[in-house]
Amino acid sequence: MKITLTVNGKKYQRDASETKNLLHFLREDLGLTGTKEGCGAGECGACTVIMNGKTVNSCLILAVEANGADIMTIEGEAKNGKLSKLQVAFKKNHAVQCGFCTPGMIMSTRALLENNPKPTVEQIKQAIEGNFCRCTGYQQIIEAVQDASGQLKKKEGLKRA
């Protein structure tokens, strides 16, 4: 089925297989491999993208269902080779370990910050409830989001760049 969708501000028109999910369509048909597949069943959140302003698991959406949608993926974060403020905060706060959950984490926290520029720790935790980090580096991720929203207090004994 022929579909048209906008991904990171760029319009794409493709013939999409009806049996392909949005995740595989992004990775295989559009070559946007930043979005990852973890469980393929909506549990882990590695495949999180922002569709029409809301975070979704791209493994649980058919590509054909995304016809006409406006989608943002991790590739939309950096502009002209420069990392976004949120990405810089993740890097600075050691919020990236193996990195597999990071694209999904950034999408979930991006959507949070768009609606709520100064989230509390509890709100950050709720926003990443559907994103698993198997390195278990949640604390650093929460600190990165606090940092990106200008709320991180300096901590003793941890040297920051």
Partner 1 sequence: MLQNFSYQAPETLKDLYALLKKSNGKATILAGGTDLLVNMHNNWISPESLIDIKKIPDLKGITFNPKTGLSIGATTVCIDLINNKDVKKHYPLLAEAAHNIGSPQLRNRATIAGNLCTASPCADMGCSLLALGASVELGSADGVRVIPLKDFFTGPKKTQIKKHEVLLRIVVPAEMAGAKFGMRKLKRIKGHDIAVASVAMARTAKVMRIGVGSAAPTPVVTADLAASTTLEKAVAAAEKVICPIDDVRAGAEYRRFMVKEFVGQIYPELF
Question: Which range touches partner 1 (CB under 8 A), out of 2-10, 17-25, 72-80, 150-158?
Answer: 17-25
CB of 106 to partner 1, least distance (A): 14
Q: What whole-number distance in Å separates Cα of residue 91 and Cα of residue 69?
A: 30
Among 29, 65, 70, 75, contact with partner 1 (rule: CB under 8 A): 65
Nearest to 34, CA basis, from 106, 110, 135: 106
By the rule CB under 8 A, 21 interacts with partner 1: yes
Check if the beta carbon of residue 13 is closer than 8 Å to that of residue 3.
Answer: yes
Q: How far apart are CA 70 and CA 113, in angstroms?
A: 18
Instruction: Report in angstroms the alpha-carbon separations of 157 from 85, 91, 141, 160.
Output: 24, 18, 18, 9
Q: Is 57 in the site for partner 1 (CB under 8 A)?
A: yes
Does position 48 interact with partner 1 (CB under 8 A)? The reply is yes
Hey, what amino acid is at 99? G
The 84-103 site mask, x for binding partner 1 (CB under 8 A), equals --------------------
Stretch that binds partner 1, among 6-14, 58-66, 83-91, 146-154 (CB under 8 A): 58-66
